[in-house]
């Protein structure tokens, strides 16, 4: 019985060692800009939105928007930036903010054939260090970056 156990243990060790050596090569992802179905996310996705200053925090602005994915493939937002914001984070008006919720729009999936709304009172974006030189009626560019390398820049009008 011990001989059979030793043979089985040797076979399992050889199998596991061989698997461990081949797995990294089989699953290595070297180029996030060349992913099947992701290259043209900017063609599939349209975004409309607006922005306003936070009432009690003049250096913050909140952006509310709707995203439509007209394509059949899901697309992943990998970040949101703006030259008018030092940092952009996700925020929910009625929930505790954590590092996970603040980074929501750095790994957010928009399913295919889907419309998603980010309204007042729900999840939205917070723009930090919002300049006081931007006045009501001016527009603020927000760039939504997608996994696969494409992006969409949208002008958000500043409202009261």
DSSP 104: G
- Say how far apart CA 32 and CA 35 lie, in whole Å: 6
Pair 132, 58: CB distance under 8 Å: yes
Whether residue 2 lies inside any domain: the answer is: no
Whether residue 125 lies inside any domain: the answer is: yes
**CA-based end-to-end distance of the chain:** 81
- Say how far apart CA 152 and CA 154 lie, in whole Å: 6
Whether residue 117 lies inside any domain: the answer is: yes
Whether residue 12 lies inside any domain: the answer is: no
Whether residue 7 lies inside any domain: the answer is: no
pLDDT tens figures, 49-99: 999 999 899 899 999 999 999 999 999 999 999 999 999 999 887 776 676
- Say how far apart CA 71 and CA 43 lie, in whole Å: 8
User: pLDDT confidence of 31, banded at 50, 70, 90?
Assistant: low
CATH label of the domain that carries residue 59: 2.60.40.1890
- Say how far apart CA 88 and CA 159 lie, in whole Å: 18
Q: Is the pLDDT of residue 159 over 80?
A: yes
Q: What domain range includes position 67?
A: 41-159
- Say how far apart CA 60 and CA 82 lie, in whole Å: 13
Mean pLDDT of the region 133-149: 96
Whether residue 73 lies inside any domain: the answer is: yes
Pair 36, 75: CB distance under 8 Å: no
Pair 27, 134: CB distance under 8 Å: no
Predicted pLDDT at 94: 74
Phi, psi of 53 (to 5 degrees): -70, 145
Whether residue 30 lies inside any domain: the answer is: no
């Amino acid at each position: 019985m011990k001989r059979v156990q030793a043979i089985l243990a040797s076979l399992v060790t050889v199998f596991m060692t061989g698997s461990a050596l081949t797995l990294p090569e089989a699953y290595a992802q070297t180029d996030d800009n060349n992913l099947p179905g992701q290259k043209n996310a900017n063609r599939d996705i349209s975004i409309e939105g607006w922005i306003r200053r936070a009432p009690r925090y003049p250096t913050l602005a909140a952006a509310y928007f709707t995203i439509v994915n007209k394509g059949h493939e899901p697309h992943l937002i990998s970040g949101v930036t703006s030259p008018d914001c030092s940092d952009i984070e996700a925020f929910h008006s009625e929930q505790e903010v954590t590092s996970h919720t603040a980074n929501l729009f750095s790994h957010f999936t928009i399913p295919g054939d889907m419309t998603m709304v980010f309204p007042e009172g729900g999840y939205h974006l917070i723009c930090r260090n919002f300049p006081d030189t931007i006045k009501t009626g001016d527009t603020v560019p927000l760039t939504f970056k997608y996994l696969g390398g494409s992006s969409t820049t949208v002008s958000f009008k500043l409202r009261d």
